[in-house]
Structure 1
Amino acid sequence: MKWTGARYTDKPTVEVRTWIDAPPERVWALVADIGLMPSMSRELQSVEWLDGATGPVVGARFLGRSKHEAFGEWATTSHVIECEPGRVLAWAVEDPADPTAIWRFRVHAGDGGTELSEWMQMGPGRSGLSPAIDRMPEKEQQIVFVRMREIEQNITLTLDRIKQLAES
């Protein structure tokens, strides 16, 4: 089968949105509390602020430890690259100039509730997928496709859990 999907160097993205019957301040409080994220993820095991940071501000760093049956266990350092309290939180994984990924939450008030989106861009920096792509370059598009679908499922789970917490 010939895959015609994205290659890693294309910096593929995925975005999932949900509407939450709660005020944006409540949703933001959950998004900004990175300590909650491991309880909402199949992969993320723990998160801790670094360098004395206690919350998201541009330039703050945090360490995340993750686990995946195919990739094993790993740790990454993320750098907050965008933070507009109540609206946007984004971070670059590893090197902000050449990240392995960029993640972004957006909070929008509307219709008496909140629209929450989570977006992720893969690459361009080398990541845990890079060794598999190096070994099987002919399967790169398939590898990227499968990983992006996993990430989409994980984002959907995270947003569902934030929605449950915000609405309870």
Structure 2
Amino acid sequence: MDKPDASGSIDVAAPVERVYSLVSDLAGMAGVAREYAGGRWLGTADGPSVGARFRGSNRRGARFWTTIATVTDAEPGRFAFEVKSLGLPVSRWQYDIVPSADGCRVTESTWDRRPAWFRPLTVLATGVRDRGTQNQRNIEATLARLKRTAEHA
């Protein structure tokens, strides 16, 4: 796979399973992630599994938008999903969680999948001109919140 457009890692004093349950919980991540405001599983899906789809709600200031995501990886060491908007590829988000001596190391990464012609339209929807820089900031904030949440669970 190509290099992510934004990525960050943090050490968490919590077991892999606890962190995985947090990053794969649609409601729980709404309180941790910076732009993600919540989501709901679609169709017969009722939790994370490969192929499951969910509608994600996102908010940045007064701006609000939704996307459809399909889970591509769902196991305690990795949770990942591909995001689309209006049927077009937008991004891939991935959480890699590896055991460490004091708990685990979590790496959050994202790949921008938007076609070049679609990018100006997404700027109107989200208010973000430099998505790579914004995602890097979002990842850093999300990982810090994830660490606090996991370690105090």
Per the shorter chain, which TM-score range? 0.7 to 0.9
User: How far 1:20 sits from its partner (Å)?
Assistant: 0.5
2:48 to 37, 56, 62: 56
Can you list the C-alpha shifts for 1:2-28, whole angstroms capped at 9, x where unaligned?
xxxxxxxx9861110000011112111
Q: SS at the partner of 2:48?
A: coil
TM-score normalised by length of structure 2: 0.82
Counterpart for residue 99 of structure 2: 109
Please give the alpha-carbon distance, in whole angstroms, between the structure 2 residues aligned to 1:144 and 1:40.
20
Question: Is this contact kept in 1: 2:10–2:105, CA < 8 A?
Answer: yes
Give, in whole Å, the separation in 1 of the partners of 2:108 and 2:120: 24
1:119 partnered with 2:103: no
SS in 2 for 1:40: coil
Greater alpha carbon shift after TM alignment, 23-32 vs 113-122: 23-32
Instruction: Tell whether the 8 Å contact from 2:6 to 2:110 is kept in structure 1 after alignment.
Output: yes
Aligned to 2:135: 151
Counterparts in 2 of 1:1-168, with a 5 A limit? 13-69=5-61, 72-83=63-74, 85-94=75-84, 99-125=89-115, 129-131=119-121, 146-168=130-152
Partner secondary structure for residue 41 of structure 1 = coil
Number of residue pairs aligned between Structure 1 and Structure 2: 147
Instruction: Please say if residues 11 and 122 of structure 1, whose CA atoms lie closer than 8 Å, have aligned partners that are also in contact.
Output: no
Asked if structure 2 preserves the Cα contact closer than 8 Å seen for 1:100 and 1:126, the reply is no
Give every structure 1 segment of 4 or more consecutive aligned residues whose post-TM-superposition deviation is greater than 6 Å.
none
8 Å CA contact 1:87, 1:106 repeated in 2:
yes
Shift of 1:29: 1.5
> Is the 2:12–2:102 contact (alpha carbons within 8 Å) kept by the matching residues of 1?
no
Larger radius of gyration: 1
Gap change, CA 1:98 and 1:75, over 3 Å in 2: closer
Deviation at 1:42, TM superposition (A): 3.1
Give TM-score, length-normalised by structure 1.
Answer: 0.76
